[in-house]
Amino acid sequence: MRIAIVSDAWTPQVNGVVRTLQTTIGRLQQRGHVVEAFTPDGFATRACPGYPEIRLALGCGTELGNRLAAFRPDAIHIATEGPLGWAARGWCKARGARFTTSFHTNFADYLAMRTHLPAGLFWPFLRRFHARASGVMTATARVAESLGRHGIDHTRRWSRGVDLSLFKPDGGQLDLATLPRPILLHVGRIAIEKNIEAFLALDVPGTKLLVGDGPARADLERRYPLARFVGVKQGAGLAAAYRAADVLVFPSRTDTFGLVMIEALACGTPVAGYPVPGPLDVIGTDGTGGGTDRIGAIDDDLARAVALALTADRDACARIGSGYCWSRCTDQFVGNLVDARIPAAVQ
C-alpha cells in the first residue's frame, strides 16, 4: 500500500507525537508498505511565535498538493491540525478523496493556556477539521469519549507501544550517585502546557531531575535553582535516565496519552500523576494499571501521588510496561486506514 502521512509535528521537535509517527512509519516500511511523510522539513517554514523549535509550513497548499498528486497514495492520514494538515484536508476535499486523522494533542486546552481565552472557543475549529475524516484515531477510549462530548464521535482506536529492546529494566543508568534520593524525574517538553511548575513546586524530599527542553526552561531553571535540568536525551540515554529514577512524575493535565509513562514503566520505574486522561488510562484509579500490584499512583494531591508511587513494585512496573506492543499498534493503524479513492482524472 502507498500511504501518505501528513504531519506538522516533526523533528527537530522531540515529543511523543513525533516518536509515535516515526516508529509507525518504520514499522509500516518493514512490512513492505511505501510510506511518504509530508512534514515541515520539506517546505519553506517560519518559526512558531514564542516556540522557535516548531516550524510552520505556511502557504504550503499548492506545493503539498502537487507532491501528494505525484505520490499517488492509496491511503492518506493527516496527523495534525496545523498548516500542513489543513492544506492536505483541503486537497482531499477538492478531489473527493477519503482520509483519516488523529487526535494527539488537546489543542483547545493548550490554546486556552496560552491565550487565556475559554477552551470552548477553539472546539469549533477542531470539529471542522476532523468532520470530513473517515475516522479519527485516538490512543484511548477515554479520549474518544471526550471527543464525543465535543461532537467528534467517529473515532477509531490507535494505541501506543514501547521499544522493548531499548526500554527495559536491565541496562545502564544515568550516574546520579551524588544527588539526594529519591530521584523524581520529569521527561518531556518544557513548556507551559505541561504544567511542570506543579512538579517543581512540590515540597517533597529528594532531587527533581528534568529531561527535555523547551521555551519555559530558562525561566523555570532560574526560579527553581535546586532542580537539575539535563537537556534532551534520546535512545539509550533516555532509557538510562528512566532506570536511574525512583519515580516518573507526570504533571500534565492536557496530554491525550503520555508515551513517557509507558517507557518509564517498561524500565521498571513507577509513575505519579493527576487523575486525568493519560495517567488514568495507564496507571488506573487504583495504581495497578490493570494488574495486581502497584505500579504508580494518581491523586489530585501530586505530592501524595509521588509518595504512593515510591512504594510501587518495580518488577510489576516492568511487566505492565512490556505489554505495550508497537506491532499491535501498527496493526490498528493499518486497519483504520481507508481507500483514498482519488479519481485518476483529478490526481
pLDDT in tens, 200-238: 999 999 999 999 999 999 999 999 999 999 999 999 999
Mean pLDDT within 316-343: 95
Residue 6 pLDDT > 80, yes or no? Answer: yes
pLDDT at 254: 87
Pick 262 or 105 by higher pLDDT.
262
Say yes or no: domain 2-161+327-346 is CATH 3.30.300.30. no
Query: Rounded to whole angstroms, how far apart are CA atoms 49 and 154?
Result: 33
Task: Say yes or no to pLDDT of 13 above 60.
Answer: yes
**2-161+327-346 against 183-324: fold identical:** yes
- Looking at residue 107, its pLDDT comes to 81
Across 54-63, 283-292, 305-314, least confident range: 54-63
The C-alpha atoms of residue 147 and residue 133 are separated, in whole angstroms, by 14
State residue 347's pLDDT score.
52
Give the mean model confidence (pLDDT) for residues 276-296.
96
Q: Report the pLDDT value the prediction gives residue 341, as an integer from 0 to 100.
A: 84
In the chain, domain spans = 2-161+327-346, 183-324
Kindly state which CATH superfamily the domain 183-324 is placed in.
Glycogen Phosphorylase B; (3.40.50.2000)
Instruction: Give mean pLDDT, residues 289-303.
Output: 97
The cell numbers describing 171, all together, are 541496562
Those residues whose C-beta lies under 8 Å from the C-beta of residue 214, and which sit 6 or more positions away, are 51, 53, 189, 190, 191, 194
SS3 138: strand
Burial (CB count <10 Å: 0-12, 13-18, 19+), residue 260: buried
| pLDDT above 70: residue 344 | no
Query: What is the C-alpha separation between 213 and 277, in angstroms, rounded?
Result: 23
| pLDDT tens, residue by residue, 245-268 | 999 999 999 898 999 999 999 999
pLDDT tens per residue, range 21-70: 999 999 999 999 999 999 999 899 998 877 777 888 999 999 999 999 99
Residue 189, pLDDT > 70, answer yes
Asked if residues 185 and 165 have their Cβ atoms less than 8 Å apart, the reply is no
pLDDT of residue 346: 53
Q: Is the pLDDT confidence value at 7 over 60?
A: yes
